[in-house]
């Protein structure tokens, strides 16, 4: 085989290889890490990490003596997301107690994520999971309806300044954990007509500084 023929053969091989990579990369139903990463990232675009596991409605009122309830809100007051006023609430005819009233501030409204299914409810969200590495996946195929369980590492992106503040992370330790660096997680993916999609992703509860579950 002469040198010119060899060059033509190598060029054709390279072009075919590039075409194969291109086709594989564009096939959203292919069982590969690229598609798994895309599916998980897409899922978490619509499922941001937020302070409370369930949406809240403001204003809220808490007894000033119950620090397990006020600590988290006070941290958000420090960041300008909430405003706080104090009042006395009568318990009996001759007795009363001090309470704090909390409401979303003007600044907080710009950071507030409204719940489309519950008018008046919402949350303060601080980022989206972004896959940094696919660690492993269970055997599967590229057939529609196929499933796979994926283990992966992720980080959080686009964290706002209020979430990185020491006061906020002290009141909500989970935020500190989330933003500290790569973490491990698992998700079940199902192959659909439009490509891979998350069908199950374990959630978690968020605890405040006193170890109580914040709902």
CB neighbours of 168 closer than 8 A, spacing ≥ 6? Answer: 75, 76, 78, 79, 162, 175
Asked if pLDDT for residue 91 goes beyond 70, the answer is no
Question: So what's the pLDDT on residue 22?
Answer: 42
Number of other CB atoms surrounding residue 185 within 10 Å: 17
Q: How confident is the model at residue 215 (pLDDT cuts 50, 70, 90)?
A: very low
Per-domain residue ranges of the chain: 28-214
Angle 91-95-97 from CA coordinates, rounded to 5°: 65
For residue 126, the number of C-alpha atoms closer than 13 Å in the C-beta half-sphere is 23
* pLDDT tens column, 1-11: 444 444 444 44
pLDDT tens profile 129-188: 999 999 999 999 999 999 999 999 999 988 999 999 999 999 999 999 999 989 999 999
Cα dist. 204→10, 41, 87, 215 in Å?
A: 53, 18, 35, 11
Write down the pTM of the prediction: 0.74
Quote the distance between the C-alpha of residue 41 and its chain's center. Answer: 10
Report how far residue 149's alpha carbon sits from residue 139's, in angstroms, rounded to the nearest whole number: 9
Backbone angles phi, psi at 87, to 5 degrees: -160, 170
Q: Is 129 exposed, middle or buried (0-12, 13-18, 19+ CB in 10 A)?
A: buried
- Given this model, what pLDDT does residue 93 score? 59
Give the integer Cα–Cα distance in Å for 137 and 139: 7
Band (pLDDT 50/70/90 cuts) for residue 94 is low
């Amino acid at each position: 085989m002469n040198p010119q023929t060899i060059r033509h053969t190598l060029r054709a091989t390279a072009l075919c290889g590039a075409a194969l990579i291109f086709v594989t990369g564009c096939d959203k139903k292919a069982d590969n890490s690229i598609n798994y990463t895309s599916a998980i990232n897409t899922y978490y675009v619509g499922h941001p990490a937020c302070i409370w596991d369930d949406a809240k409605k403001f204003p809220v009122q808490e007894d000033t003596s119950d620090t397990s309830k006020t600590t988290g809100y006070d941290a958000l007051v420090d960041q300008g997301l909430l405003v706080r006023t104090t009042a006395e609430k009568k318990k009996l005819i001759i007795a009363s107690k001090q309470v704090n009233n909390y409401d979303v501030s003007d600044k907080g409204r710009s950071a507030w994520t409204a719940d489309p299914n519950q008018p008046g409810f919402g949350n303060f969200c601080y980022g989206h999971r972004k896959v940094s590495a696919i660690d492993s996946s269970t055997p599967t195929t590229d057939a529609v309806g196929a499933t796979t369980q994926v283990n992966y590492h992720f980080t959080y992106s686009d964290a706002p300044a209020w979430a990185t503040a020491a006061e906020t992370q002290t009141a909500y330790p989970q935020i500190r954990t989330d933003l500290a660096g790569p973490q491990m997680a698992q998700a079940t993916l199902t192959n659909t007509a439009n490509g891979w999609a998350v069908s199950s992703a374990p959630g978690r509860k968020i605890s405040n500084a006193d170890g109580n579950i914040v709902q």
